[in-house]
Structure 1
Amino acid sequence: MTETDAREIVGPGGDETDPGGNPQVQAPSDVNAGWRRFAIDIRPLRHPAYRRVFIGNATSFFGTQFTAVAVPVQMYALTKSTLWVGYLGLAGLIPLLIFALWGGALADAVDRRRLLFVSSVLMWICTLGLLVQAVLGVGSGTLLLVLVAAQSAAVAVSSPTRSAIIPRIVDKDEVPQANTLNYTASTAASVAGPLVAAVLIEYNVAWAYGVDALTFTVALWAAFRLPTLAPTEDGGVVSRGRLSDVMFGLRYLAKTPVLLMSFAVDIVAMVLAQPRALFPAISAQRFHGGGIGWLYASIALGSVIAGLTSGWVARVRRQGIALVFAVVVWGLAVAAAGLAHSLWLCVLLLAVGGAADLVSAIYRQTMLQTYAPDQLRGRMQGVFTAVVVGGPRLGDLRAGATAVPLGLGAAWVGGGLACSVVAIVLAVVFPSLLRYVAGRP
């Protein structure tokens, strides 16, 4: 039977019929159809430009996790201080806030392909700097802070540019699926990366930085192979990459309560509930020096599972409510993990939080990419980058600093509970996010 013949005998309900028109139940087909409703949607990969970007991002995400684990572990080994580990968050936050807004304005003003490639090269050079200091055994916490700050500045330009590109290289109705693929790939790397990194770090921290530098070359190839993505113009929102263009984007955001509240909820989630800076100390004090790789991989592990079963995500219309609910679950799961004295229970609870975090991240990104016009996407993604990347870094500082007077448990559990409470209060006091429906002006 040919494919055309098969299509001709499918009834209006989707079941196959016999020549007399009587439906025949096909249990395996029903099962497959049910699975496809929940399995991750890979249709955006049929676009060559997106496919290359996806491959480059997925590969570099894996390598980036090696550095994400190596830097705080090296800092704690040098200083024996959670406060210095928290300073890494501050070192990354300041340049991020400065350059993300400017980088977003540049993404609206110049060829996004060229900007992505140049900023990616700068990120790669910073990774090489981390590799060199480890090979030479410099042993300076201050140098680590400087390199992290420089790398953060490059990330602040590349990240909004990369995100603003997505709606230009896939169909608009596939933006949620493209974001889901990106987040799932990054979180899958966040599972495998820390586990392998923990093994390499035990041998020599320089190996972790070396893997990051090597894998990032794939991201450079993907950026180089993108088509030209010149800026579009539409009346008064054209950007020239100046301070006035940054301010225009901020004014637009201030007048758009849906986007403003999505940013506010994300800041609450990351600043109050992010426990990452406490992982080295928790591993050393509560789990007898073990499990550092699993702790760093746990949140991402839950995100991967959520991503692989995310076929339902694009069908949710009340995305604002789903976003708030996911943030509340994230906070409660993190708080519960802070009470666990078993490594595997802690990992499991953090994985639940990671699943909720993936759902909230998909909706935040999708709302921004489909709500704002293309001429403003770079600037909005710049703000998004400052929030999404800066929030966890500020959360690192909050966790590391509060652990000094309060202790590890209180800093961890209290932050998770505060996240859930504040997210609910914000949603009730400012209900625009709860009222948001996808596709409705």
Structure 2
Amino acid sequence: MDLSPLRDSRDFRLLFGSGVIGMFGTFLTVVAVPLQMKQLTNSPLAVGLVSAAEFVPMVVCGLWGGAIADALDRRKIILYTEVGLCLTVAILLVNALLPNPQIWVLYVVGALSAGLGSLQRPSLESLMPRVVRHDQLTAAAALSSFRWNLGAIVAPGLSGLIAASYGVATAYAINVVTFLASLVLLWLVKAPPQAEDAPPASLSALADGVRYAVRRPDLMGTYLVDIAAMVFAYAVALYPFLADQLGATHALGLFYSAAAVGSLIASVTSGWTTHVHRHGLGVIVAALVWGLAVALAALMPNMWGVLACFALAGAADMISGVFRATIWNQTIPDEYRGRLAGIELLSYTSGPMLGNARAGLMDHLGGTRFSLGAGGLLCVGAVTALAGLLPKFRTYDARTDEHAVRERTRREELAQATA
């Protein structure tokens, strides 16, 4: 694994450390809120409505967060939203300590937390190119993916153990502490502020960001291929039914963690990705492997074969994510970085949701294995079609692409001016 961004960039080390701490704290609340709702209502519908309450604030604030990330000081946005997120967990803690915790608080605070998190994410993602050298952006994306995948494996189980054994109030209290620790690390980041001539946050500025993305087929390829892969081959909603059919209900958790294990393995062996320059083609190949792995899972006769296919799919998804992030970080001008991160957030969140809906519908029509297999093959077909329709995305080369060369030259000139 290429660790050069951690060695060379103090600010990246701070952001990485904050992310590790914050991820554990976030999973504490992600596990504790549904658990507390179940304890208070014993209603699956009530638990499901928590996610529904979070969806609209997540989408709206994600797009608006991109606009303000390009208009205001990103470091301050990150700090203010981190304080806000800490306060939301403190409210959950106080509510949990009441003799009769209020159900409505979980819905309101859940929506508020989702909104604040979505406001923060575009600023966090657009800060990356400012704290990491241009030639280290692929390695930085791989390290960020490693942090996420390791956390996705370890944090949920540990969080569930804490919430179930010591109560949701304890989980909330620990999360408050993690937010305070994360806030200290973020405070120490010294990224430069926005340019004085940055456009103000507005609907017209947001529309300008959308127009910029549409004018660039290489960028549209990163969004469209990922959405196609998720819509046609994402099938987490089928896992409980697949586990039943394989007689493995006791191992349902393994179905959810298999992709993260594959992603983690791909992360720790990702040093080779720094030598790849045809990132568009890399995204296409990774998406094809993702679809084929899901389709192959439908043919596996036992649990271990299915888990191996899901792990392969997770590894392919991780590689796709690294190459997509590299294209974004190496080519998007700083003045558009926040708005494009907001668009990426929208594609990242909508694809899996639509994919689960697609999986459920196809399961109803032809069964679980039909849904898996047909979805994987549809993914392969859609990605192949997009590769043909977007030649500039397919042939993207970081060494010669005009946007990558322009951004690389700008950063080199900036580094020389500040040396």
Alignment TM-score > 0.5, same fold: yes
Greater shift, 147-156 or 283-292, is seen at 283-292
CA deviation profile, 1:200-240 (whole Å, cap 9, x unmatched): 46547726555544433332222222225311267xxx321
**1:31 maps to what in 2?**
none
Cα distance change, pair 213–354 in 1 and its aligned pair in 2 (3 A): farther
Q: Does 1:157 align with 2:119?
A: yes
Cα distance change, pair 254–334 in 1 and its aligned pair in 2 (3 A): same
Which among 325, 339, 351 is matched to residue 365 of structure 1?
325
Output the CA distance in 1 between the equivalents of 2:110 and 2:300.
31
CA deviation profile, 1:251-295 (whole Å, cap 9, x unmatched): 111111110111111112223322334445655775554234433
**1:230 maps to what in 2?**
193
**2:405 maps to what in 1?**
none
Tell me the CA shift for residue 334 of structure 1: 2.7
Which among 377, 384, 388 is matched to residue 424 of structure 1?
384
Alignment of 1:131-150 (within 5 A): 146-150=108-112
- The answer on whether the counterparts of 2:248 and 2:303 sit within 8 Å (CA) in structure 1 is no
- The answer on whether the counterparts of 1:92 and 1:393 sit within 8 Å (CA) in structure 2 is no
User: Alignment partner of 1:159: what SS?
Assistant: helix
**1:349 maps to what in 2?**
309
Tell me the CA shift for residue 46 of structure 1: 2.6
Tell me the CA shift for residue 169 of structure 1: 1.1
Output the CA distance in 2 between the equivalents of 1:279 and 1:180.
27
CA deviation profile, 1:340-370 (whole Å, cap 9, x unmatched): 5644433322211111111110111110111
> Structure 2 counterpart of 1:225, which letter?
L
Which among 312, 319, 330 is matched to residue 290 of structure 2?
330
User: Percent identical across equivalent pairs?
Assistant: 31
User: Alignment partner of 2:397: what SS?
Assistant: coil
Output the CA distance in 2 between the equivalents of 1:255 and 1:326.
24
> Structure 2 counterpart of 1:426, which letter?
L
**2:182 maps to what in 1?**
219
Which among 238, 243, 252 is matched to residue 212 of structure 2?
252
Which among 155, 176, 181 is matched to residue 193 of structure 1?
155
How large is the RMSD of aligned CA atoms in angstroms? 3.2
- The answer on whether the counterparts of 1:42 and 1:181 sit within 8 Å (CA) in structure 2 is no
Output the CA distance in 1 between the equivalents of 2:50 and 2:384.
30
- The answer on whether the counterparts of 1:88 and 1:393 sit within 8 Å (CA) in structure 2 is no
- The answer on whether the counterparts of 1:130 and 1:144 sit within 8 Å (CA) in structure 2 is yes
**1:53 maps to what in 2?**
15
- The answer on whether the counterparts of 1:110 and 1:231 sit within 8 Å (CA) in structure 2 is yes
Tell me the CA shift for residue 162 of structure 1: 0.5
- The answer on whether the counterparts of 2:5 and 2:132 sit within 8 Å (CA) in structure 1 is no
Greater shift, 315-324 or 340-349, is seen at 340-349
Cα distance change, pair 114–266 in 1 and its aligned pair in 2 (3 A): same
User: Alignment partner of 2:71: what SS?
Assistant: coil
- The answer on whether the counterparts of 1:76 and 1:280 sit within 8 Å (CA) in structure 2 is no
**1:297 maps to what in 2?**
257
The alignment's TM-score, normalised by the length of structure 1, stands at 0.79
- The answer on whether the counterparts of 1:66 and 1:212 sit within 8 Å (CA) in structure 2 is yes
CA deviation profile, 1:360-409 (whole Å, cap 9, x unmatched): 10111110111111111111111112222343344345445665666544
Cα distance change, pair 228–200 in 1 and its aligned pair in 2 (3 A): closer
Cα distance change, pair 392–119 in 1 and its aligned pair in 2 (3 A): farther
> Structure 1 counterpart of 2:268, which letter?
L
Aligned length: 397
Which among 174, 196, 203 is matched to residue 243 of structure 1?
203
**2:351 maps to what in 1?**
391
**2:412 maps to what in 1?**
none
Higher helix proportion, which one? 2
User: Alignment partner of 2:76: what SS?
Assistant: helix
Cα distance change, pair 42–231 in 1 and its aligned pair in 2 (3 A): same
The alignment's TM-score, normalised by the length of structure 2, stands at 0.82
User: Alignment partner of 2:250: what SS?
Assistant: coil
Output the CA distance in 2 between the equivalents of 1:286 and 1:274.
19
CA deviation profile, 1:98-117 (whole Å, cap 9, x unmatched): 11121111111111111011
Greater shift, 199-208 or 356-365, is seen at 199-208
- The answer on whether the counterparts of 2:62 and 2:122 sit within 8 Å (CA) in structure 1 is yes
User: Alignment partner of 1:153: what SS?
Assistant: helix
CA deviation profile, 1:161-188 (whole Å, cap 9, x unmatched): 0011111112111111111111111111
Which among 175, 178, 193 is matched to residue 137 of structure 2?
175
Which among 114, 127, 140 is matched to residue 76 of structure 2?
114
Output the CA distance in 1 between the equivalents of 2:370 and 2:105.
31
Cα distance change, pair 123–405 in 1 and its aligned pair in 2 (3 A): farther
Cα distance change, pair 274–135 in 1 and its aligned pair in 2 (3 A): farther
- The answer on whether the counterparts of 2:69 and 2:77 sit within 8 Å (CA) in structure 1 is yes
> Structure 2 counterpart of 1:47, which letter?
S
Q: In terms of Rg, which structure is larger?
A: 1
> Structure 2 counterpart of 1:94, which letter?
V
- The answer on whether the counterparts of 2:300 and 2:306 sit within 8 Å (CA) in structure 1 is yes
> Structure 2 counterpart of 1:372, which letter?
I
**1:11 maps to what in 2?**
none
Tell me the CA shift for residue 323 of structure 1: 0.3
> Structure 2 counterpart of 1:215, which letter?
T
